[in-house]
Amino acid sequence: MNRLNRKVYKVKRLRTINIMKIQNKLIVLCISLFLLISFVGATHVCEIYDDFSSGILNESKWEINQDYEGQPLIENYGINNLSENFYTKQNIYGNKRLYLTPRYNFKINDTFNWDVNYISGSGNGIFNFLIEKADGNFDRNILGIGHWNYDLDDDFGIYHISLKFMFPLLKIYVNDNFIRNYYLEESPNNIFIGTAFGHNGRGNFEYDNFELCTEKEEINQTIEINQTNNEEEINETEIDYNETEINQTIEINQTNNEEEINETEIDYNETEINQTNNEEEINETEIDYNETEINQTIEINQTIEINQTNNEEGNNETEIDRLEQKIKQLEKRTSWIESILDKILTFIKNLRKY
């Protein structure tokens, strides 16, 4: 039993050492994750807001509006199924306007891009960009492309527009060239994208390739996934640890039960011996016969006790072998968990370098 107790003590000690190692690794991992979150920022992800390829204006993304002055809508507008653009075309002269308003609340660090195709025109006709301020008033002198009296006289062609919402500033670019900063007031700041013709204007403008870029916390999502995986691995380790404790308890109980059975057998043998002695005193004439029977009983009991002792030693050896296997399994699990934590730490270090 001393050897068995030493093995049980060794298992418990090894378990405690392994748990301390895992805890130290997790502390280092948490510190690394904190530092990684501190140094890594969000990334921009760009997606098509609308390219009009469906042939139908998506009313969940757009709203068509008149000019704030109440000028009538341009006579021809809609989706050009050949070019898959949204077009605004006027063949007769007259003050007419039409604007597309995105049904989207722009946030800080959003970027909104699109193309304007200035196809043709004469007189006053421009692509116009308006902002409706929180008080309901409009600011129309922000950006225009086309011809308008002596203020604008641009060439026909495609112009790439980019708005960067750096609240409270709106940065405006045309063909990747910085144009101006515009101060945004408190939300909402609805934007109007469209065409305006003056009293002597006519022409054709088309719009396409609207793209919205937003911040995505992709790296933080990856960290959350890694944390979830680590929690699952820790839970599995706790389950293995609980199973080991249960198995050890079962083995100890089995050993205790065997000792109780041995004590019961000893008491039973003592009772038999006492009964035999009583029979000797009562049956004096059968003394020789009873003595022979007692000797035989003693020899049998001794043989049984020897066999039981051998069996107990064999059982103890089996239990010792089991504990040695448990020790090897715990060492393998600990090595496996430490290798996983090392890989995660290496991955985090590489991310910080990147």
Q: Which residue has the higher pLDDT, 330 or 201?
A: 201
Q: Which residue has the higher pLDDT, 136 or 214?
A: 214
Per-residue buried b or exposed e for 156-173, using 16+ beta carbons within 10 Å of the residue's own CB: eeebebbbbbeeeebebb
The confidence score (pLDDT) of residue 115 equals 98
Helix residue spans in 73-167 (DSSP H): none
Rounded Cα–Cα distance for residues 113 and 54 (Å): 19
Query: 107 by DSSP, 3-state: which?
Result: coil
Token pair for residue 167? Answer: 């609240």
Tokens 């049980």, located at residue: 8
Express each pLDDT in 254-288 by its tens digit.
Answer: 555 555 545 555 455 555 545 545 555 534 535 35
Rounded Cα–Cα distance for residues 46 and 50 (Å): 12
The confidence score (pLDDT) of residue 266 equals 47
The confidence score (pLDDT) of residue 196 equals 95
The confidence score (pLDDT) of residue 313 equals 58
Token pair for residue 241? Answer: 């640890």
| String of DSSP letters for 301-331 | HHHHHHHHHHHHHHHHHHHHHHHHHHHHHHH
As a dihedral over the C-alpha atoms of residue 154, residue 155, residue 158, residue 160, rounded to 10 degrees, the angle is: -30
Q: Strand 43-50 relative to strand 202-216: parallel, antiparallel, unpaired?
A: antiparallel
* pLDDT above 70: percentage of residues in the chain: 58
Q: What is the mean predicted confidence (pLDDT) over 93-100?
A: 94
Q: For the structural domain made of 44-216, what CATH number should be given? A: 2.60.120.560
Q: Which residue has the higher pLDDT, 164 or 134?
A: 164
Q: Which residue has the higher pLDDT, 298 or 125?
A: 125
Q: Which of 166, 198, 162 is nearest to 184 (CA)?
A: 166
Q: Which of 94, 61, 64 is nearest to 78 (CA)?
A: 64
The pTM for the full model equals 0.53
The confidence score (pLDDT) of residue 275 equals 54
User: Which range is most confident: 117-126, 234-243, 266-275, 324-333?
Assistant: 117-126
Distance of CA 164 to the CA centre of its chain: 29
Q: Which of 122, 63, 344, 106 is nearest to 230 (CA)?
A: 344
Rounded Cα–Cα distance for residues 319 and 252 (Å): 10
Express each pLDDT in 326-336 by its tens digit.
Answer: 777 777 777 88
- Domain range list for the chain: 2-40+219-353, 44-216
| String of DSSP letters for 29-68 | HHHHHHHHHHH---EEEEEEEE--TTSS--TTTEEEE--T
Instruction: Output the CA–CA distances (angstroms, integers) from residue 17 to 10, 79, 221, 335, in the order listed.
Output: 11, 71, 33, 12
Instruction: Output the CA–CA distances (angstroms, integers) from residue 309 to 8, 305, 321, 353, in the order listed.
Output: 21, 6, 18, 65
**Contact criterion met (CB below 8 Å) for 191 and 63:** no
* pLDDT above 90: percentage of residues in the chain: 38
DSSP E strand stretches across the chain: 43-50, 62-65, 76-80, 85-90, 96-102, 111-122, 125-132, 138-148, 152-153, 157-166, 169-174, 177-183, 190-197, 202-216
Q: Which amino acid is at 135?
A: D
The confidence score (pLDDT) of residue 236 equals 60
Token pair for residue 54? Answer: 């469906």
Give residue 139's pLDDT band: very low, low, confident or very high (50, 70, 90): confident
Q: What is the mean predicted confidence (pLDDT) over 20-30?
A: 64
Question: Of 93-97, 155-159, 186-190, which gets the smallest average pLDDT?
Answer: 186-190
Q: Strand 111-122 relative to strand 157-166: parallel, antiparallel, unpaired?
A: antiparallel
The confidence score (pLDDT) of residue 159 equals 98
Tokens 């937003």, located at residue: 214
